[in-house]
Structure 1
């Protein structure tokens, strides 16, 4: 992990900044969303990829790409969460309590 952070910090930073931007500009969509079955399949897929990474089931270059992809995904999702939170703090209208 230290190797990934040391030599790919630019890619990780870009992934986090892209997530921050997407979290900031994202408009609340009150559409259908994913079904429970689809959500479970995605969670199982990501959990399987994390387990493959932890147990080094993909050796060599593919294992490196898997590790880098998972870390970039985590940076992107964290950036999305921070961007959405910052947008909520800055843009949302707060009504005074007891006014």
Structure 2
């Protein structure tokens, strides 16, 4: 894992920045959420990919790309969560009236 991060840190930071930007902008869009069945299938596919990665059944370069893709996807999701949370905290300010500045 340290090899993966040491040689691909630029891509990982880019995934975090893209996730942060997406999380920051996402409350603006009015996109319908996925259906329950689609969410279950997506979760099952992600879980299967993590299981393949942890069991090391995919050797060589394809396994390396799978590991890198999973790390980047996880960092992207974490960046999106941080961006969305910061937008909520900094712009909406819970407990403060909307028109008040200061």
Same structural fold, with TM-score higher than 0.5 when normalized by the shorter chain: yes
Aligned-residue CA RMSD in angstroms?
A: 1.7
Tell me the alpha carbon deviations over residues 48-71 of structure 1, each in whole angstroms, 9 at most, x when there is no partner: 000000001111000000000000
Matched ranges for 1:59-74 at <5 A: 59-74=59-74
Matched ranges for 1:1-99 at <5 A: 1-29=1-29, 31-96=31-96
Cα distance in 2 for partners of 1:24, 1:75 equals 15
In structure 1, stretches of 5+ residues that fail to align are none
Task: Compare 37-46 and 86-95 and name the one that shifted more.
Answer: 86-95
Aligned residues: 97
Cα distance in 2 for partners of 1:56, 1:28 equals 40
Cα distance in 2 for partners of 1:32, 1:26 equals 12
Cα distance in 2 for partners of 1:20, 1:35 equals 24
Cα distance in 2 for partners of 1:94, 1:56 equals 46
Cα distance in 2 for partners of 1:48, 1:28 equals 32
In structure 2, stretches of 5+ residues that fail to align are 97-102
Moved beyond 4 Å, runs of 4+? 28-31
